[in-house]
Structure 1
Amino acid sequence: MTPQPPAPRPPRSVSRSLGRLAGNRGGAVSLIFAVAMLVIIVAVGCAIDYGYAVRQRDYALGVLDTAVVTAAANLMESRAATDAARTKVASASVDSYIASSNATGLLADARTEVVTSGLGSTVTATADVSVPTSFLGIIGVDRIDFTLSSSSESTSTPYVDVTLLVDTSGSMALGATAADIDRLVANVRCAFACHDNPGADSFAWAAANGVTLRYDLIRQSVLNFADYIEDIDTVGHTRVQIYTFDDSLRRNLALTTDMVQVRANLPAAPQTSGETVGGTRWWTYADTIPGLIGGGGDGTSRAKAIKLVMMLTDGVQDPNRTWTWDTPLRDYVREFDPTVCDTLRMQNAKVGVVQVPYLDLTGDWGYDATLGMPSLLGRNGDRHADTTYALQRCGGDLYHLATSAESVVDSFKTLYARAVPPRLSR
């Protein structure tokens, strides 16, 4: 067997030096301490530098998060029609917010893009953050780098065609509250069908004496709705038209995005000049309503606008006021037929109903002779209960019972918010 060569030995001078070091305990301790201190300094420096970098990263991410949410909100207010145009708007918004937050040094190269799908848009901003070090330069690390990304999803205002279908029959001249009804009874001796006698015209007396009527609340509900649409839709996606009904169905205002026009075309005052006007001949025109509304869409474009019909009524139809002396006609004072609402939903329209119910009129001869009579639908209760049943069937999930003056004036706002949820961003 060939012998292995001996292991190499250090030169004699090195051996002597190591021997002296080994024999010098103070030198060994100094060397170990120096090495340990270097390690400790690097470790502590690393912790300090990295902790500072993380704080800077978190600050930069917070700025970026808020910047994209702000950009998404601004995007919804813009009329940008393409992703390129939307990206331009969003980029300017992100850059502006970063500058206002004094974070340009950290987020100088933020990159923004927008991707749209239907009514939804996603704003994404990405940035590379580089934080200089103070201690890690000892080991050649001059900067700590992070890549940050933040997104905000938004849903813009859909295209909606709103039809306000407002009852302006004589019953809208009833007192709005129990106190108003009491004042009418005390001064004109009735509260229901009072316009049959010109000497007891409740509408004229109420207007002259500051009594609030249902009609006053209806007008205010339209005004409040116009204000609401202006607040939530700054891009003109919502159009409103107004139809009123009593003896006939009339269009007060064609579809418009101009809420000034809505305010200028409020429902006219109820006709209370005699017994042959001011009725609610619902059965004669209800079938024409679906054709006036048309088919609904998903709201992604004007051609695919959501169709929303919101009706405000007490739900009572009658031929005219001759039932006060023509007894057989009293059976015609009854609930609406809600079939038209089913037809509207079949053509993908949304139907909402605000019921302004009759307050307690027990003891008023006109009420007792009509709505106070037993149900004509074979149900328990009276005809007034029939009206609630029919309107609930008509409105479904979008039925709203307005039992106070406040709930009447806010009723269209309430229904719209339920039918078309407000835009969101996060």
Structure 2
Amino acid sequence: MLDKLLGDRSGNFGIMSALLLVPLIAAAGLAIDLTDALEARNQLQGAADAAALGAVAEKSIGTAEAMKMMTDGAITPAVQDAEKIFAAQIASATGYTLTDHAATVTKVNNQLTAMFTYTATVPTTLLKVIGKNEFTVTGQATAVFQTETYRDFYLLLDNTPSMGVGATTADINTMIAHTSDKCAFACHIVNNGVEDENSYYNLAKSLGVTIRIDVVANATAALMDTAVSVRRSDNQYRMAVYTFGQKAEDTKLLEISPLTDNLVDAKSKASLIDLMSIPYQGYNKDQQTDFDLAMKNIGDKMGTPGTGLTPSDPEKIVFFVSDGVGDSKKPTTCTKMLTGTRCQEPIDTRACQPLKDKGYKIAVLYTTYLPLPTNSWYNSWIKPFQSEISTRMQNCASSGYFFEVSPSQGISDAMNTLFLKIVSTPRLSG
């Protein structure tokens, strides 16, 4: 009887099918349920990525808060921001149950790191036949953002008489055509507090001639607007403004605006920058442009240079704007031919090096010294080294911090270009 049963082949297909049905269902279920789990994970990962990136985005609450922090640590508003972004991203998602999630956002030096983790369960369908009721999916998203460096800018603006030259070739030609000695310089003569009505300074104004210091003053004021528009917090950039002095009888650094993060106030003060006055033509043999002394004195104003990683440890940058020709009493170390003890030379880079050695950076905007072929003084003393001025000014600057601009190119645009080059925007990575 048993032999007959075992030898009967008529029901084998049904038995074999029944035996194979469970693993076939399990295999099909595995493919289907894994696809569902992967889809759920992709949704959650996308939401986590958005949360981490959003928490430290350039214009985020977290970045703004981090820029104000004097020490390292967690940034609670950024955590809350990440949570909101994640919730918004998964609001309409289905097919899984979120069991856990967490966000952390921390600041270390000038780097922000956001991390978002999640755990969810995805119910199975066909795999339930083998007792597998759910899959667990987990993931993590990390975003890193480096905030801008904190910087203090000390604007050192050459306002000595040579910056009274016409701002453009057309302005120069107008002055030459209206002066008996064909002078392109609008000399600002003030004697005992009384303005000389016949000075070329007043002539320039009556002719509608723009002189170079006017352009520098306007450009400096405009620079404050640029700084405000790109800074990420009120204390990120501070600025101080200095010139070489109000009058030739007292040549020293003149503080136009003290170091401040109130750039609106600094702008107002910068717009009033004026040409240094002289009591009469040829006063003190025209020795009013002492770059060596100016560089030393600005260094004394700046304090200890920092890393720029925190508001309390900012980088210190000299933002130097000049036509690059020194004219001072310098009897022993002049790099060009003397007239008695008077030294006329391209800037002596030995005055710049001590600042760089101490850790300060020097940004140089060279306002091209325009040839004045009708002027005998220029032909005798400046023309012989005209070709060296730009090179010396570039050598004074820190690497990458030099810009030369001719009047026709626009000093305001040049100042903004150099400033933006210094404060180039960092990149977000995740």
What TM-score bracket applies, with the shorter chain setting the length?
A: 0.7 to 0.9
Moved more, 258-267 or 208-217: 208-217
The question of whether the paired residues in 1 share the 8 Å contact of 2:72 and 2:109 is answered with no
Pair 1:297 & 2:283 matched: no
Encode CA deviations 1:60-97: one digit per residue, 9 max, x unaligned: 212212211221133221135566541x2221011111
Encode CA deviations 1:370-415: one digit per residue, 9 max, x unaligned: 311x2xxxxxxxx222322321221141222223555632444444
Which residue is equivalent to 1:265? 269
Which of 27, 37, 42 aligns to 2:26? It is: 42
TM-score normalized with structure 1 length: 0.79
Pair 1:245 & 2:233 matched: no
- Cα 1:315–1:57 change in 2 (3 A) is same
Give the letter aligned to residue 219 of structure 1: A
Which residue is equivalent to 2:77? 89
Structure 1 residues without counterparts, runs of 5 or longer:
1-11, 321-326, 375-382
Encode CA deviations 1:31-57: one digit per residue, 9 max, x unaligned: 444555654443333223322322332
Which residue is equivalent to 1:323? none
**SS of equivalent residue, structure 1 residue 275:** coil
**SS of equivalent residue, structure 1 residue 369:** helix
Which residue is equivalent to 1:379? none
The question of whether the paired residues in 2 share the 8 Å contact of 1:159 and 1:301 is answered with yes
Which residue is equivalent to 1:138? 129
Matches within 5 A, 1:346-361: 346-361=357-372
The question of whether the paired residues in 2 share the 8 Å contact of 1:77 and 1:235 is answered with no
Runs of 4+ in structure 1 off by over 6 angstroms are: 196-200
Q: CA deviation at 1:368?
A: 2.1
The question of whether the paired residues in 2 share the 8 Å contact of 1:191 and 1:364 is answered with yes
Which residue is equivalent to 1:4? none
Which residue is equivalent to 1:9? none
Which of 210, 220, 225 aligns to 1:227? It is: 225
The question of whether the paired residues in 1 share the 8 Å contact of 2:83 and 2:103 is answered with no
The question of whether the paired residues in 1 share the 8 Å contact of 2:150 and 2:236 is answered with yes
- Cα 1:196–1:310 change in 2 (3 A) is closer
The question of whether the paired residues in 2 share the 8 Å contact of 1:310 and 1:415 is answered with no
Pair 1:391 & 2:393 matched: yes
Give the letter aligned to residue 268 of structure 1: I
Give the letter aligned to residue 393 of structure 2: L
Give the Cα–Cα distance (whole angstroms) in 1 for the partners of residues 100 and 202 of structure 2.
70
Which of 355, 359, 371 aligns to 1:344? It is: 355
Give the letter aligned to residue 346 of structure 1: D
Give the letter aligned to residue 317 of structure 2: L
Matches within 5 A, 1:21-420: 22=9, 24=10, 27-33=11-17, 39-73=23-57, 74=60, 75-78=62-65, 79-80=68-69, 85-86=74-75, 88-103=76-91, 109-186=100-177, 190=182, 192-195=184-187, 203-204=201-202, 206-208=204-206, 211-230=209-228, 231-245=230-244, 247=248, 248=251, 249-266=253-270, 268-271=273-276, 274-275=280-281, 279-318=288-327, 328=339, 332-372=343-383, 374=384, 383-397=385-399, 398-403=401-406, 406=409, 408-420=411-423
Give the Cα–Cα distance (whole angstroms) in 2 for the partners of residues 192 and 72 of structure 1.
54
Give the Cα–Cα distance (whole angstroms) in 1 for the partners of residues 6 and 198 of structure 2.
125
Give the Cα–Cα distance (whole angstroms) in 2 for the partners of residues 28 and 404 of structure 1.
99
Q: CA deviation at 1:283?
A: 4.6
Give the Cα–Cα distance (whole angstroms) in 1 for the partners of residues 4 and 216 of structure 2.
109
Give the Cα–Cα distance (whole angstroms) in 2 for the partners of residues 41 and 388 of structure 1.
81
Give the Cα–Cα distance (whole angstroms) in 2 for the partners of residues 417 and 196 of structure 1.
33
The question of whether the paired residues in 2 share the 8 Å contact of 1:297 and 1:304 is answered with yes
Give the Cα–Cα distance (whole angstroms) in 1 for the partners of residues 201 and 24 of structure 2.
92
Q: CA deviation at 1:227?
A: 2.3
The question of whether the paired residues in 2 share the 8 Å contact of 1:192 and 1:367 is answered with no
Give the letter aligned to residue 243 of structure 2: T
Q: CA deviation at 1:169?
A: 2.0
Identity of aligned residues (%): 23
Give the Cα–Cα distance (whole angstroms) in 2 for the partners of residues 203 and 16 of structure 1.
128
Instruction: Provide the aligned length of Structure 1 versus Structure 2.
Output: 394
Structure 2 residues without counterparts, runs of 5 or longer:
190-195, 330-337
Which protein has the larger Cα radius of gyration, Structure 1 or Structure 2? 1
Moved more, 269-278 or 115-124: 269-278
- Cα 1:63–1:401 change in 2 (3 A) is same
- Cα 1:386–1:82 change in 2 (3 A) is closer
Which residue is equivalent to 2:7? 19
Encode CA deviations 1:204-238: one digit per residue, 9 max, x unaligned: 45545555443343234323332232222314132
Encode CA deviations 1:222-273: one digit per residue, 9 max, x unaligned: 2333223222231413221111115422111111111111111115121467
| Alignment RMSD (CA, Å) | 3.4
Q: CA deviation at 1:352?
A: 1.5
